[in-house]
Amino acid sequence: MNKRVFLDNAATTPIAPEIIELISNMMKTHFANPSSIHSYGRESKIVVETARKTIANLLNTSPGSIFFTSGGTEADNMAIKCAIHDHKIKHAITSKLSHHAVLYPLEDLAAEGKIKLSYIDIDKNGVISLMHLEELLKNNERTFVSIMHANNEIGTIQPLKEIGDKCKEFDAIFHSDTVQTMAHFPFDMRELNVDFMAASAHKFHGPKGIGFVYISEDIQIKPLLRGGGQERNMRAGTENIYGIAAMAKAMEMAYENLEEETTYIKGLKKYMIDKLQSEIKDVQFYGKCTDLDDSLYTVLSCNFPESANSEMLMFNLDIKGVACSGGSACSSGSSKGSHVLTSIVPDSMRPGVRFSFSKYNTKEDIDFAIDKLKELFS
């Protein structure tokens, strides 16, 4: 088989071998419904609650703030729709750089006439204006604010604590999509004024189809999904016990080795930046992604000169064995341009590529990708 390298870890990450083993073993021993009151069910329930405590401890919060979902999209939709409906919110603020799991539900609510939707100003790097945030909060009734912690396409990180403090000052409800940063950055929920956060296990070497929403103890909402009353009546549906246990273990592994793995991945990113700048003429980078200490260290978003290969760049890289993404991979089959890149470089025709890294990548992977880029741009 021809050599291939996977540099699309912001889209999903390989499942860690330890996690595959855990899931396989648990499927043999824990098959019961956690809602059942017999001994088999109680054993499954213990798995769910132990995982909840593990995640809560890692975030310095109470287990009562963690609710399991099918992933980040459900967590975002739950926070947005339930908070706005249950608290009778009429005004919402977000950024045009938000993930579609945030933009679409907010835009739907605005189109239905249920809220007025404001877009916060951003600079050329995609960083929001705290001054504009204050102005919007000051001049509108109680507001729902949704700002993603780190952008999945260009790696821009937002000042989560400052945003949360400003929202608290004006009694706003603050939701952050932390799918790209959960288990990649430390969080202390006792220090952050955040009401909702979303996470997805497959972004940190866990399985797909499982995530969680953090809900502050200071805010109450009704469930988005109704049914069997699972998750303390907050999220109906039989719990995915294998996914829940695997997510908690993957998160625990990530935080146990956070400093070491962060340093390693930053090294890979710097290595690729240096190689691109020395080997590819006129390469450019989006946002602040070349700043290793002030960007999402797993993401390197760049663009290349227009050429005969521009239209088919992603296809050609794939054919040559390099798996990466053009903008957001969640819509990679779409003919639409990236809404994120359109917001910061609206008139650019240069082909954009997002390379994203994990602990399983090596410098040899990057050398391979650079060689294939040189073939296309020589």
Bridge partners, residue 355, by sequence? 300
DSSP per residue over 61-127, as a string?
S-GGGEEEESSHHHHHHHHHHHHHHHTT--EEEE-TTS-HHHHHHHHHHHHTTS-EEEE--B-TTS-
Least Cα distance to 61 among 175, 218, 220, 206 occurs for 218
Report helix, strand and coil shares of the chain as percent, to nearest 5: 40, 15, 45
Q: What is the spatial distance between Cα 302 and Cα 353, in angstroms, rounded to a whole number?
A: 6
Q: What is the spatial distance between Cα 332 and Cα 144, in angstroms, rounded to a whole number?
A: 30
Q: Are 330 and 276 in contact (CB under 8 A)?
A: no
Q: What is the spatial distance between Cα 221 and Cα 242, in angstroms, rounded to a whole number?
A: 27
Could you give the residue numbers annotated as active site?
330
Which structure tokens are listed for 292? 């290793």
Residue 89's φ and ψ, nearest 5 degrees, are: -75, 135
Q: What own/partner pairs with CB < 8 Å and gap ≥ 24 does 326-329 have?
A: 326/351, 326/352, 326/353, 326/354, 327/153, 327/352, 327/354, 328/99, 328/100, 328/152, 328/153, 328/354, 329/8, 329/10, 329/11, 329/354
Pairing of strands 116-119, 143-146: unpaired
Least Cα distance to 35 among 173, 186, 230, 187 occurs for 230
CA angle 374, 331, 3 (to 5 degrees): 35
- Helix, strand or coil, per DSSP, at residue 338: coil
Q: Which residue has the tokens 């992604």?
A: 289
